[in-house]
Amino acid sequence: MNAPYPDKATLTETLLKQLNHAVFFKDTESRFTLVNPALLRALRVGPTENVIGKSDADYFSKEHASQALADEQKIMRTGKPLLNYQEKETFADGTVMWCSTSKYPLLGEGGQILGTFGIALNITAQKEAESRLAKAQAQLMDKERKLAVVDFADLILFHMNQMGDAAGAAIGRVSEAIQNGHFAQIRRQVETLVDRLPPDSPVMQDMVSLLGETELEAEQQAKIHDELVALRQELKSIIELVELRKNMPPKS
């Protein structure tokens, strides 16, 4: 003979005992009227009798208890459930637990609201893993930004140093040309020829023009020299700034 099929109360009790999710029922004052073993384990209390008649304020921080009460009062006022929301539950001793929670209005036979009930899944491990992952990603991004800055800075420094070397070499060549006195020698030779030539000599005008050209060329070379010196100084300043930025820690 088959055993009689369990009644609804027995089935409900069996389900509540086996669930790893925390299940709770509360009255209109948000006091516990029924809880399952999973919630008792989370609260770290003894038998069910120790919880009945108490509220979140007896186990959690004031901030969390106040928010839970406000949520449940809203559910009873509107008749609308709150589904699958994440809440941070801070116990009185500072322990933190994250849950994915759904809460519903508890209706009587006549449709009147008698309180609330809910089910909460402990997702603390998931949240901690997400936090570690986010921290690792942030550290990786910081390293990537640092490497990008360093690589770009090295590229700039390479080209800036090459330009500085080229400018230095050009300065040396111009300085040598000026110091060797090529234009001064030409000028003296032209001046000697001008002194020796009669005023009405057909080449006098050419000599005077050549003298003017040598003076203009000397001025241009001196100008080029000064510009190259200024350019090299600007390159040095840029290199110093890039080196400074390269060694700066990334912004948090």
3-state secondary structure the chain: CCCCCCCHHHHHHHHHHHCCCEEEEEECCCCEEEECHHHHHHHCCCCHHHCCCCCHHHCECHHHHHHHHHHHHHHHHHCCCEEEEEEEEEECCCCEEEEEEEEEEEECCCCCEEEEEEEEEECHHHHHHHHHHHHHHHHHHHHHHHHHHHHHHHHHHHHHHHHHHHHHHHHHHHHHHHHCCHHHHHHHHHHHHHHHCCCCCCCHHHHHHHHHHHHHHHHHHHHHHHHHHHHHHHHHHHHHHHHHHHCCCCCC
What tokens were used for 31?
Answer: 């006091």
Mean pLDDT of the chain: 79
Stretch 26-53: mean pLDDT: 91
162: pLDDT confidence band, cut at 50, 70 and 90? confident
pTM of the model: 0.55
Whether the per-residue pLDDT at 74 is higher than 90: the answer is yes
Give me the pLDDT at residue 61, please: 92
For residue 182, pLDDT beyond 60 = no
Task: Give 105-159 pLDDT, tens digit per residue.
Answer: 999 988 999 999 999 998 888 888 878 877 877 776 776 666 666 667 677 767 6
Distance of CA 151 to the CA centre of its chain: 19
